[in-house]
Amino acid sequence: MFVQIRKWTVTEGNSDKILERFTKKPGDGPSLIEQREGFIGRELLVKQTRRGDEEVVMIIRWESEEAWKAWEKSPEHIAGHRAKLKEGKPQQPEYVISMEHGNYTVVS
């Protein structure tokens, strides 16, 4: 199994904006990534804080690194990023302080 982890640190009160980008609404069908061969699942986690910066972690599980690479190179994935640029959306919104990511092979 192959796992991708992304962690956003955002300004106070803005974790919901990250969640909105990746959470399905009632009545929505499966997303493009959910339809990809080799996709297993995705979880969103929010670190509970009383005050200050907030953290959102997304864990995406794939059957293999090859399945993930196929998604990254797919026309659907590339088109989604291009559409955001055409809409004039910044790559990183002002409320995002930092974003880290890593790719991992599950060994046990």
**Digit-coded pLDDT (tens) for 31-68:** 889 999 999 999 999 998 889 999 999 999 999 999 99
pLDDT at position 27, please?
A: 80
- Structural domains in the chain, CATH included, are 2-105 (3.30.70.100)
Q: Which residue has the higher pLDDT, 44 or 76?
A: 44
Q: What is the mean pLDDT of the chain?
A: 90
Pair of tokens at residue 104: 């991992």
Longest dimension (CA), the chain: 43
pLDDT of residue 84 exceeding 90 = no
What confidence category does residue 85 fall into, taking pLDDT thresholds of 50, 70 and 90? low
